[in-house]
Amino acid sequence: MICVSIARGRHRYLLAELQHLAKQGVELVELRLDCIQSNVQIKRLLTDRPCPVIATCRRQHDGGHWSRSEEERLMVLRAAIAEGVDYVDLEDDIAGSIPRFGATKRIISHHDFRRTPEDLETLHGYLASLDADIVKIATLATHPNDNLRMLELVRSSSVPTVGLCMGEIGTPSRVLAGRFGAAFTFAPLNPEKLLAPGQIAFSSLRDLYRYDSITPATKIYGVIADPVGHSLSPVVHNVACAATAIDAVYLPFLVPAGHLRDFLASASRWPLAGLSVTIPHKEAVLEEVSARDDLVKEIGAANTLRFNSDGTIESFNTDVTAALEALRAALEEQEAGFGDRRGLKSAMVLGAGGAARAIACGLRRQGVDVTISARTAERAKKLAEAIGGKAVDWSARHRLPYDCIVNATPIGMHPEVNETPFEATHLRPYMVVFDTVYNPENTLLVKEARGVGCRVVTGVEMFVRQAAEQFRIWHDQLPPRDVMRNALKQATSSVRVIE
């Protein structure tokens, strides 16, 4: 069950949101009384409430907004209990001074904004001893495995428990709470009023992550990255699983570089079924895998992992095929191919990072002459040597004409949408222009290339194809490509909300 937290400065907005949520079938709402700007009128809020509510009045040092006296706060909580509120949230240090009364259930809560303590069991035992109907522990995750320790505590507890990790690293604990037997999870109604770091808005948790249909049988997938907040892979994969009725959930795992080994070593505890891999782990991950497919061996980087029941981890690279397929589709429109007279014989790849490497390798495999130009000349030279291509200075990138220009830098990506890595005056109608940036899809480079009459391949086409191939590897089914493409396009068009 999702408990939706609502935080408003005025009673009437709080009441309106409560009614609205009840109409949507929400079964539990947390009223954040600490956000009310005037005297709290508890009777007004609780009379004729349309669904069960939790009364919470959080102090500032526990992450709340209460700015008046502690005495007044305790009065508000006592008044809520006297009015027969369904649940009251009592922090562990005040639980002893507010006795049980009537039918109100007691949530005994503890917050730690610095870390997730080592000994969660002792803390849990103490909270349960404070006449708790439900124990709630919210701690800051500083390691991705803090999520696991918290979720395993929830699963082993005999007292109903809500255990959540805060911060972006802690997001998985919020989505998987029910899978591990938590009494409920929390989600704010309004994304713009997120009440704690790492929270997911109610609508996303319900509709994208399908929280209520996650069971112990639901397979767990995700993306490992640092940062991970901007990733659109959760949107694309969750929508694809919903469309094909696959019982799986796909999560954003924020895994800092130093925690990669520990995270993968604990894969069976979640248990993980598959992962997308992105910056900064695409190369480092190879030290942890049991098997590499041919492209991974050739490129030295993986973007996909599959976890087998015998504990082995297979690695794949779907970026290369995705980029080539996207380019091939554009060439076929004019019945041309790689290396042929009307197709691509030469390409300029801008950038020398992971995407540039995958695309440059793929093009070389097709017999295309590849030139690399990157801001850091040394990186360009190294990549050119590795793939059997040439390197030119960044300042010389416009000097010679090429059949294909590939942007494998972030230039043009949101929010720098007025930038382009290649001046329009050097574009020619016979060129194929491939911009790997997908957010937005119509970058300035894409717009200018279309204006000149070039054939254009967008980052969306590559992104959808690499994700579709991951889907096929993990679920052994045909991927719903159109569904994935539409989800990505919709998400990139509302990028300001997502970020």
For the packed helices 319-332 and 459-475, what is the interaxial angle rounded to 10 degrees? 130
Out of 89, 92, 111, 143, pick the active-site residue: 111
Determine the 3-state secondary structure of 28 from DSSP.
strand
Indicate if 393 belongs to the active site.
Answer: no
User: Which residues bind to ligand NAP, rule: CB under 6 A?
Assistant: 279, 319, 351-356, 374-376, 379, 408-411, 413, 436-438, 459, 462-463, 466
- Taking the complex as a whole, the smallest distance from the CB of residue 220 to ligand NAP amounts, in Å, to 23
Which residue, 88 or 372, is less far from ligand NAP as judged by CB? 372
Out of 143, 259, 282, 475, pick the active-site residue: 282
Cβ atoms of 90 and 109 within 8 Å: the answer is yes
- Taking the complex as a whole, the smallest distance from the CB of residue 471 to ligand NAP amounts, in Å, to 14
Indicate if 282 belongs to the active site.
Answer: yes
Which residue, 4 or 356, is less far from ligand NAP as judged by CB? 356
- Taking the complex as a whole, the smallest distance from the CB of residue 404 to ligand NAP amounts, in Å, to 16
Which residue, 375 or 428, is less far from ligand NAP as judged by CB? 375
Structure tokens that stand for 468 in this block: 């579709």
Out of 146, 319, 403, 435, pick the active-site residue: 319
Indicate if 297 belongs to the active site.
Answer: no
Cβ atoms of 82 and 100 within 8 Å: the answer is no
Out of 110, 124, 136, 259, pick the active-site residue: 136
Indicate if 310 belongs to the active site.
Answer: no
Which residue, 177 or 296, is less far from ligand NAP as judged by CB? 296
Specify the residue for token string 């554009």.
Answer: 330
Nearest-5° Cα angle at 438, 458 to 440: 105
The pairing of strands 432-435 and 455-457 is parallel
Cβ atoms of 364 and 340 within 8 Å: the answer is no
- Taking the complex as a whole, the smallest distance from the CB of residue 353 to ligand NAP amounts, in Å, to 2
Q: What are phi and psi of 437, to 5 degrees?
A: -65, 130
Which residue, 383 or 427, is less far from ligand NAP as judged by CB? 383
Which residue, 175 or 239, is less far from ligand NAP as judged by CB? 239
**Surface-to-core class of residue 65, CB atoms within 10 Å of its CB (0-12 exposed, 13-18 middle, 19+ buried):** middle
Chain position whose Cβ is nearest to ligand NAP? 353
For 24-47, b where at least 16 C-beta lie within 10 A, e where not — what string? eebebbbbbbbbbeeebebeebbe
- Taking the complex as a whole, the smallest distance from the CB of residue 337 to ligand NAP amounts, in Å, to 22
What letter represents residue 144's amino acid?
Answer: P
- Taking the complex as a whole, the smallest distance from the CB of residue 21 to ligand NAP amounts, in Å, to 37
For the packed helices 354-365 and 377-387, what is the interaxial angle rounded to 10 degrees? 30
Q: Which residues are catalytically annotated?
A: 111, 136, 282, 319
